[in-house]
Structure 1
Amino acid sequence: MSDAPVFEIDPKAFWRDPYPALKQMRAQAPIAYVPQLNATLFTRRDDIFENEKKIDVFSSDQPDGLMTVLMGQNMMRKDGDAHMAERRAIFPTISPKTVKNVWLAQFQAATQQILDEVAPLSRADMVGDIAMRISGEALKSITGLTNMSWAEMDRVSQGMIDGCSNYAGDPEVEAQCHDCTGSIDRHIDEMTPLLKATPNHSLLSVQMQAEMPEAAIRANIKLAISGGQNEPRDAIAGVIWALLTHPEQLRGVLDGKVTWLQAFEEYTRWMSPIGMSPRRVAKTYATHGITFDREDRVFFMFGSGNRDAAHFKHPDVFDVTRDVGPSIAFGAGPHFCAGAWAARSLIADVALPMIFERLPDLRLAGDVPFGGRAFRGPLSMPVAW
């Protein structure tokens, strides 16, 4: 265990809203050991930005970590050459060129169909009825698992997220996670011969074309689903909530004074759908007078860094005109989110403008609870139009 100052949290309150505690940590103990999480948290933006790059110290390779044990060792749990080799192999799926020339049209078609079905209803849950479907349909295309329903995509994603944060060792959560990874494997088995016969730009196909080991292919598909479903879902609904609760800023976007991308980038800074990333300490290391021992667990708290007053004026305020250049919403080091271009396209180019165009006078129709410390977003969001 590191000798960092100890900072106690209420786990339930931290899950409901981690920002008050993180603000206190940034001020009083910016590197702090939190016993309830059994991890040392980095909370200031510059400390995260600097240390996430030190892969010889803060390693993503976590052989005993829940993600590796439950999902296999994906590229996010590899460092150095091993990580970069797999990142290069999947680049044809997630490159800006592929996003523009292949996925954008598919995103538009799927979103159009969803909104055609939803628009006549005049009322829905933005999370479960709209954003979840848009995200799921996009992920089906990108992964190559077009034989999976959007609802199953969301189910297996949530099951893996729950499994990877199951530090209490709840056997029911673990069993559910195994059920979800089993479902993904069965869908991969069904699609493999089809994609061998007709290759495309999907993640499954591209990895097969690169002749990657089967275990790595499956682990990376599961990685893409575990993060690639919930982050766009939560960001689509979250940006809409933020704009509806800040009508003057919504008017600026609708009038063309501010872009949808600016709104998306500011939301991901402000609310950080991916709030943290774990690391394993690979060797004894000292920084800011704090010593880390080998095998210590570290959490880089991206959501906290994105509200660091050293870089953002009035950081707790949502402001679509803000310069978000220092934001680390997608990471800060070699593990910068590989799906960032696809997420920006799906959300800023497609989902947000199409939703506001097709659902006139969109408005909130009830309370919008939020939750999550690692993955954060609205839990439900009743809307009418």
Structure 2
Amino acid sequence: MSDAPVYEIDPDTFWRDPYPDLARMRAGCPVAFVPQLGATLLTRREDIFVNEKKVEVFSSDQPGGLMTVLMGQNLMRKDGTDHQAERKAIFPTTSPRTVRDVWKAEFETATRALLDEIAPKGRADMVKDIAMRISGDALRHITGLTNMSWQEMDRVSQGMIDGCANYAGDPEIEARCHDCTASIDAHIDAMMPRLETDPNSSLLSVQMRAGLSEEQIRANVKLAISGGQNEPRDAIAGTIWALLSHPDQLRMVQVGEVSWLQAFEEYARWMSPIGMSPRRIARRHEVRGVTLEPEDRAFLMFGSGNRDEAVFERPEVFDITRDCGPSLAFGAGPHFCAGAWASRCLIAEVALPMIFGHLAGLRLDGEVPFGGWAFRGPLRMPVSWDA
């Protein structure tokens, strides 16, 4: 076990708002053991940025980790040549060219249909009625599971997310996660024969053509769903909330002074939909005078690094004019998010401009609570507009 100083948290408070605790850790114990999480947390941006690349120490191969146990060993839980081989196999689905030439049109068609349907209603929950559906429809096409509804896509994603963050070992959460992975497997079973005869650019199809084993294919589809539904959903709704809460910055985007992409990337830095990535310590290593021992669990706290006062001026402030280059929103090093291009396209090129363009006078219509620290986003977001 590491000899890091111990920092105690209240789990409920940390889930509601982790940023005060993370700020105290950055200031007083930037590498700290949190007993409630059973892990040593790295909270400074430079420590995360440098050490994430040291895969010989901070290993993603975690045989006993929750993601591996519940979802199978996907490419994100592999290092070195094994990771690179599977990343290369899925690249035809996630490449900038495929996003531009294939997925963007799918995103636009589905988003336009949703907005045409909902515009006359004049009010909705931005999370559940709009962002969730946009994200779910996009993921149905990218994964190849077009036989799954967007509602089921969101359900199984949330179930796996909850399972992978179930460090307290709640048996009900684990059972729901198993039910969700079984649903994904059933939908994969139904789609594989179709894609054998009619291949496309989807993740399921390109992995089949690349000759990956069924075990690899299934694990990587589950990874894409766990990381490709909640985060875009929360980023779409969250960026809209941030802009509506900062009307001066919304005007800057609408008149073209800054881009929708800048707004999204600043939100992703500020609120960090993906707040943490776990690692297994593979060999003894020292960080800031703290010795990490083999088999220790370490959490790279992206959400904390993105608010590091040593890197970002007034990091607690939402400012779409800032340089987000140092942001860790998509990770760093060999495990940089493979879906980054698709996310940027869906959110910044399609969802944000189309939502503001179709829903005239869009405004907040109630309280918007947030939750989560490993994955963070708005829990509900009542809005209205001029129908």
TM-score normalized by the length of structure 1: 0.99
Q: Secondary structure, in 3 states, of the residue corresponding to 2:313?
A: coil
**Matches of 1:174 and 1:50 in 2, distance apart?**
33
Q: Is 2:63 the counterpart of 1:63?
A: yes
Displacement after TM superposition at 1:310 (Å): 1.2
Aligned partner of 1:209 in structure 2 is 209
Identify the residue that residue 192 of structure 2 maps to in structure 1: 192
Shift of the alpha carbon at 1:26?
0.5
Superimposed CA distance per residue, residues 4-46 of structure 1 (whole angstroms, 9 cap, x where no aligned partner): 1111111111000101110111000000001110100000000
State the alpha-carbon separation in 1 of the partners of residues 164 and 324 from structure 2: 30
Structure 2: distance between partners of 1:287 and 1:154: 38
Aligned to 2:333, the other structure's residue is in SS state coil
Alignment of 1:13-92 (within 5 A): 13-92=13-92
Letter in 2 for 1:350: V
- Indicate the residue corresponding to 1:346 in structure 2: 346
- How far is 1:169 from its partner? 1.7
User: Aligned partners of 2:163, 2:306: CA distance in 1, in Å?
Assistant: 26
Instruction: Please list every run of 5 or more consecutive structure 1 residues that lacks an aligned counterpart in the other structure.
Output: none
- 1:46-195 mapped onto 2 (5 Å cutoff): 46-195=46-195
Give CA deviations for 1:257-307 in whole Å, capped at 9, x if unaligned.
110000001000000000010000011112221111111000000010011
Moved runs in structure 1, 4+ residues, more than 2 A?
none
| Matched letter for residue 343 of structure 2 | A
Distance 2:325 2:371 in 1: 26
Q: Structure 2: how far apart are the matches of 1:343 and 1:296?
A: 32
Aligned match of 1:326: 326
Q: How far off its partner does 1:168 sit?
A: 1.9
Other-structure match for 2:3: 3
Whole-angstrom distance in 2 between the partners of 1:156 and 1:299: 24
Structure 2's unaligned 5+ residue stretches are: none
Q: CA deviation at 1:166?
A: 1.4
RMSD: 0.5
Deviations 1:338-377 (A, max 9, x none): 0000000000000000000000000000000000001100
Inter-partner Cα distance in structure 1 for 2:282 and 2:251: 49
- 1:5 aligned counterpart, secondary structure: coil
Deviations 1:116-136 (A, max 9, x none): 111010000000000000000
Structure 2 letter corresponding to 1:344? R
2:336 maps to 1:336: yes
Q: Which letter does structure 2 place at the counterpart of 1:249?
A: Q
Say whether the 8 Å CA contact 2:126–2:380 is kept in structure 1: yes
Cα contact 2:369–2:378 (8 A) shared by 1: yes
Query: Deviations for 1:117-165, whole angstroms, at most 9, x for unmatched residues?
Result: 1101000000000000000000000000000000000000000111111
Q: Which one-letter code corresponds to 2:231 in the other structure?
A: E
Query: Offset of 1:315 from its aligned partner?
Result: 0.4
**Residue of structure 2 in register with 1:227 after alignment:** 227
Query: Does 2:232 correspond to 1:258?
Result: no
Amino acid at match of 2:217: I
Percent identity, aligned pairs only? 74
Structure-2 residue corresponding to 1:290 = 290
Letter in 2 for 1:209: R
Distance, in Å, in 2 between the alignment partners of 1:317 and 1:308 is 12
Counterpart residue type for residue 75 of structure 1: L
Q: What letter matches 2:198 in structure 1?
A: T
Distance 1:17 1:41 in 2: 16
Could you tell me how far apart the structure 2 residues matched to 1:102 and 1:327 are?
28
